[in-house]
Amino acid sequence: MVEAMSHAIDIGYRHIDTAHLYRVEPEVGQVVNKKIEEGVASREDFFVTTKVWQHNHSPAGVEASVRASLRRMKLEYLDLVLMHWPMAISEDGVDEKIDYLDTWRGFESVLDQGLARAIGVSNFNVQQLTRLVESARVRPAVNQVELNLNLGQADLVSYCQGQGIVVVAYSPFGTMVPSRAYEGSPEPKLDNPTMVAIGKKYGKTVTQVALRYLFQRGIVSIPKTNTKSRVVENASIFDFELSPLDVAELAKFDNGFRTVRPVFWQNYENYPFDKIPLDPVPAIPESLKKWKNGINGDIE
């Protein structure tokens, strides 16, 4: 990750998306600060995003989480801090039932203190966002959600864009890439004839077509890779434009399929997705309860 991120910054990437959950904030900060020291980019050139996990949904917990992220990354401020999920769940897996409106007061305080220059949310549905916007002193700048060819979320995107909320897409390839594909997952895949034909028309790869499609919808994508060649490939989508006919063809893949569906949380208050009948509901993975950060798992 460090090598791929260093290469990405060298060739022009400036938006770094991380989170407390990812356990890599120390390494992210290490790379950013090294590139600043090398004169590759200034701190003002970077846009560093991190997220507050479910364990820290009290207003005081939000501030503690943000200060801990800053300490781990050795930064003075963050460009954007997101509420990772609308649910409040303790390290022991207990539903704390903290209203995300109360959590948001902590985010507004972080903004007021200059610890972050913008605040937003992640994995919020339309109803939750509407309620937040109606009561917030500062409306969220961003909603980061899963968006790809299978999961277009037109109503959510339309609502956000109408409210001036930037939509950021995680998992922008869905199950298209082999690392996410499994038996029975929907098309398109990398060898899908429609995708291949559209890519050939523009001299682009299938994944570049997928990213360009989201870009033309006014959506920011955050594709993830540790491969240097794909770091370059993912950024090379600004020299072509999909025709309206191709956009319409790609839109046909939208079937509401979620790649990320954490059903082990589905009975918790404020779970944002539709529920699936399960008996029993799987237990929360231990890896989502309590952890330390960094490659050696030794940083609080």
Q: Which residues are catalytic?
A: 22
User: H/E/C letters for each residue in 97-164?
Assistant: CCCHHHHHHHHHHHHHCCCECCEEEECCCHHHHHHHHHHCCCCCCEEEEECCCCCCCHHHHHHHHHCC
Report yes or no: 117 and 55 within 8 Å, Cβ to Cβ.
Answer: no
Q: What is the spatial distance between Cα 42 and Cα 88, in angstroms, rounded to a whole number?
A: 36
Question: Do 290 and 91 contact (CB within 8 A), yes or no?
Answer: yes
Helix, coil or strand: residue 201:
helix
Burial letters for 146-168: b for 16+ Cβ neighbours within 10 Å, e otherwise? bbbbbbbbeebbebbeeeebbbb
